């Protein structure tokens, strides 16, 4: 196992890691992870994002993380000396894998504090960058940051869905922009899909050595022995193409069963997104007659114009029966919609309606 890393042009081994400390919080966190990575332990600790429940802590094998790093670096054609940017919290697998790829492939790693504007203080466009959709959205709001983002060689976006508006904004970028598919259990992503250029697609291409199938319920099952010892059955409802690619239709646990009619939350959100005047999330609320009904959480204070017109585009079963306004939509630490909290908010608001 390689025990050196290039950070801002200088090589650090186990004996030099302490010299990274004291400059800023991002380098302190990097030093903590490098101490763990360079140790004799065969595993490191990773936390799941908690997008569908309480976050979990896992011990994952370093050898499997290295296998995952090889898949990504080989697929993208990265080379030693390419500048990589770490701009996500290091407690999550996505950030840890940026470091592991840098160690294994000889990338030159630069670190900034995780924030919604990670490019704000950066004076160059990285060759390799991993971001969340929320970070990309925020960076596009600034002309200078957007220019750096556009000039980035390879930008992989994960930790949340790429909605239609963001996809349209990225489609004309000149270099390589990718959406990732994976989870903590697969040690980051096992497939990528292109978001820009003539190769842009809704279909993910799995890495070599990854086999896929659908369960009877239509959920995606992943067999990737290099990164995960056992087959992993996901909660993602998917469609498989005959050439091995796949696309995600939504999560199994994001289905609202309203009077026997099954409504996929992601499908409703995608249809409403270009029509809604504010940020929102779709969730389910309890109903004595139908069991569940569609509920919207909207960011703001009052219902303005545009809601009824947007709702009219939906089938009657899919239209939100209640709209509740919240100061801020619930999200996990990694920026994903916090679906469990959204349901809890809807349940509490509807119970208070009956008081």
Q: What is the pLDDT of residue 240?
A: 97
CATH number of the domain at 89, please: 3.40.50.12780
Whether 85 maps to a domain, the answer reads: yes
Range of the domain at 38: 5-210
- Residues 89 and 147 grouped into a single domain: yes
- Residues 43 and 159 grouped into a single domain: yes
Q: Are 219 and 213 in contact (CB under 8 A)?
A: no
Q: Are 94 and 130 in contact (CB under 8 A)?
A: yes
- Residues 270 and 135 grouped into a single domain: no
Tens digit of pLDDT for each residue in 333-348?
767 789 999 999 999 9
Of residues 56 and 329, more confidently modeled: 329
Whether 254 maps to a domain, the answer reads: no
Whether 230 maps to a domain, the answer reads: no
Instruction: Assess whether pLDDT exceeds 70 at residue 355.
Output: no
Tens digit of pLDDT for each residue in 266-291?
989 989 998 999 999 999 999 988 89
Q: What is the pLDDT of residue 262?
A: 87
- Residues 55 and 121 grouped into a single domain: yes
Whether 99 maps to a domain, the answer reads: yes
Q: Give the integer Cα–Cα distance in Å for 209 and 190.
A: 9
- Residues 182 and 275 grouped into a single domain: no
- Token reading at 253: 């646990």
- Residues 197 and 287 grouped into a single domain: no
Q: What is the pLDDT of residue 302?
A: 78
Instruction: Assess whether pLDDT exceeds 70 at residue 37.
Output: yes
Whether 228 maps to a domain, the answer reads: no
- Residues 106 and 196 grouped into a single domain: yes
Which of 179, 210, 241 finishes a domain?
A: 210
- Residues 296 and 171 grouped into a single domain: no
Tens digit of pLDDT for each residue in 177-222?
999 999 999 999 999 999 999 999 999 999 999 999 999 989 999 9
Mean pLDDT score of the chain, rounded to an integer?
Answer: 92
Q: Give the integer Cα–Cα distance in Å for 337 and 323.
A: 17
**pLDDT over 90, % of the chain:** 79
- Residues 147 and 271 grouped into a single domain: no
Q: What is the pLDDT of residue 151?
A: 97
- Residues 90 and 160 grouped into a single domain: yes
**CB count in 10 Å sphere of residue 324:** 19
Q: What is the pLDDT of residue 50?
A: 57
Confidence of residue 306 (pLDDT cuts 50, 70, 90): confident
CATH number of the domain at 305, please: 3.30.300.30
Residues 6+ apart with CB under 8 A from 308: none
- Residues 176 and 27 grouped into a single domain: yes
Tens digit of pLDDT for each residue in 3-12?
999 999 999 9
Q: What is the pLDDT of residue 144?
A: 96
Per the structure, the count of domains in the chain is 2
- Residues 205 and 285 grouped into a single domain: no
Whether 118 maps to a domain, the answer reads: yes
Whether 31 maps to a domain, the answer reads: yes
Q: What is the pLDDT of residue 332?
A: 81
Strand partners, 193: 179
Whole-prediction pTM = 0.80
**CB count in 10 Å sphere of residue 124:** 12
Whether 221 maps to a domain, the answer reads: no
Q: What is the pLDDT of residue 95?
A: 95
């Amino acid at each position: 196992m390689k025990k050196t890393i290039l950070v801002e042009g200088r090589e650090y081994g186990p004996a030099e890691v302490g010299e990274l400390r004291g400059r800023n919080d991002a380098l302190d966190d990097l030093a903590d992870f490098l101490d763990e990575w360079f140790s004799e332990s065969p595993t490191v600790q990773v936390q799941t994002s908690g997008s569908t429940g309480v976050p979990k802590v896992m011990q994952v094998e370093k050898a499997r993380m290295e296998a995952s790093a090889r898949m990504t670096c080989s697929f993208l054609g990265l080379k030693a000396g390419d500048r990589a940017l770490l701009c996500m919290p290091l407690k999550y697998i996505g950030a840890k894998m940026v470091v592991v790829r840098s160690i294994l492939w000889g990338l030159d790693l630069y670190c900034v504090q995780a924030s919604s504007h990670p490019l704000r203080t950066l004076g160059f466009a990285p060759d390799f960058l991993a971001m969340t959709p929320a970070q990309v959205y925020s960076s596009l709001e600034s002309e200078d940051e957007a220019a750096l983002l556009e000039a980035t060689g390879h930008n992989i976006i994960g930790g949340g869905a790429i909605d239609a508006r963001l996809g349209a904004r990225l489609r004309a970028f000149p270099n390589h922009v990718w959406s990732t598919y994976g989870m903590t259990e697969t040690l980051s992503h096992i497939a990528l899909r292109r978001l820009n250029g003539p190769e842009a697609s809704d279909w993910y291409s799995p890495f070599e050595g990854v086999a896929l199938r659908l369960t009877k319920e239509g959920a995606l099952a992943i067999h990737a022995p290099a990164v995960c010892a056992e087959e992993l059955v996901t909660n993602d409802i998917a469609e498989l193409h005959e050439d091995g690619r796949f696309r995600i239709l939504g999560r199994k646990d994001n289905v609202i069963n309203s009077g026997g009619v099954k409504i996929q939350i992601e499908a409703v959100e995608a249809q409403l997104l270009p029509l809604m005047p504010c940020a929102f999330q779709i969730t389910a609320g309890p109903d004595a007659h139908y069991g569940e009904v569609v509920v919207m959480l909207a960011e703001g204070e009052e219902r303005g114009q545009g809601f009824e017109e947007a709702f009219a585009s939906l089938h009657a079963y899919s239209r939100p029966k209640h709209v509740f306004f919240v100061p801020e939509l619930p999200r996990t630490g990694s920026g994903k919609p916090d679906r469990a909290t959204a349901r809890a908010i809807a349940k509490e608001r509807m119970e208070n309606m009956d008081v």
